[in-house]
Amino acid sequence: MASDVREQLRLRLEGLEAAGIDWLPKTSGPPEGFEFAAASPELVPVEEPRREANSQEGRQITLNVLRERVSRCERCPELAVSRTQTVFGVGPIGAEILFIGEAPGADEDRQGEPFVGAAGQMLNRIITGCGLRREEIYICNILRCRPPGNRPPQPTEEQNCREYLDETIDLVGPKIIVCWGATAAQNLLRSTVGITKMRGSMYSYRDLPVICTFHPASLLEGRSPQNKKYVWEDMQMMLKSLGKPIPVKNA
Ligand code: SF4
């Protein structure tokens, strides 16, 4: 019970801070001329609606507070000065599937959403091919800021941002994680193995199953569209592990 009250208080204070209120007046008792009535045994306490910290609503509030904190983050000085905005993540609390990409590119940096532009359209086609809707998946990146010139994230940047990723995973509570591309897979799982070898197997992170596959951008015409069949195999593995039907693919 005491930990519940502490959690509620913490959420309330973080919410106030997020709203720009960073101090509260100190009170040592009732204002002059006021007296608190003694508790009366006849009074029946009114049951107030409680917002459990772990409820969907409580987790959404905590995620909103985290998003606000991230928007002011300057842990990676080079990224903080060059970004247009932070790109936090999109999707519902309680999403069964959580996608992780590398880092925002130019389109994401401009629009504030992960996986937009040509790679985002390819990802949308993959999602539709799986019989799913983008709105039911939580999508985020290893980093929340665009590295200048789309260079790969540096180890210190990935470490700086890992706390935000972990908190997001815990709050969303997915059943499975999919890493898109070598950078996401290697960073999440702290591996140096190439994506061609990593894909096709199941891994684990924070007790959740993880699948790694090729980045949607690498499947675009002029790059390696022949790898679409491997991505489809990996998607089938994802659907199977969730007990979802596997759509019949048109030839
Ligand atoms: S990449 Fe993450 S840790 Fe680095 S400045 Fe952006 S939000 Fe902060």
β-pair partners for 97: 137, 176
Residue whose CA is at the smallest distance from ligand 1 atom 6? 145
Which residue did the predictor score with more confidence, 249 or 81? 81
Position 52 scores a pLDDT of 74
CA of 165 to the centre of ligand 1 (A): 10
How many angstroms separate the alpha carbon of residue 75 from the centre of ligand 1? 6
pLDDT digits (tens, 9 = 90+) for 23-35: 554 544 444 544 4
- Cα dist. 26→18, 30, 33, 166 in Å? 20, 11, 18, 35
Output the average pLDDT for the chain: 88
Kindly state if the Cβ of 145 falls inside 6 Å of ligand 1.
yes
Region 43-68: what's the mean pLDDT?
80
Q: Is the distance from the beta carbon of residue 160 to the nearest atom of ligand 1 less than 6 Å?
A: yes
Backbone angles phi, psi at 138, to 5 degrees: -95, 130
Q: Which residue lies with its CA nearest to atom 4 of ligand 1? A: 76
Ligand 1 mean position, distance from CA 73 (Å): 6
Edge-to-edge strand list for the sheet holding 208-213: 137-141, 97-101, 176-180, 208-213, 202-205
- Containing 10, the helix (H) or strand (E) segment is helix 2-18
Predicted confidence at residue 5, as pLDDT, reads 54
What backbone phi and psi angles, to 5 degrees, belong to 66?
Answer: -65, -45
pLDDT at 199: 98
- Residue 184, Cβ neighbours under 10 Å: how many? 26
Percent of the chain whose predicted confidence (pLDDT) is above 70: 79
Average the pLDDT over 208-236 and give the result.
97
109 lines ligand 1 (CB under 6 A): no
| 77-92 pLDDT tens trace | 999 999 999 999 999 9
**Whole-prediction pTM:** 0.81
The confidence score (pLDDT) of residue 191 equals 96
User: What is the greatest pairwise CA distance in the chain?
Assistant: 82
pLDDT band at 37 (very low <50, low <70, confident <90, very high): very low
The pLDDT value recorded for residue 54 is 86
Domains and CATH numbers, the chain: 55-241 (3.40.470.10)
CA distances from 76 to 3, 83, 90, 120, 145 (A): 34, 11, 22, 25, 9
Residue 237, ligand 1, Cβ within 6 A: no
Ligand 1 atom closest to Cα of residue 74: 5
* pLDDT 10s digits, 115-148: 999 999 999 999 999 999 999 999 999 999 999 9
**Band of residue 248 on the pLDDT scale cut at 50, 70, 90:** confident
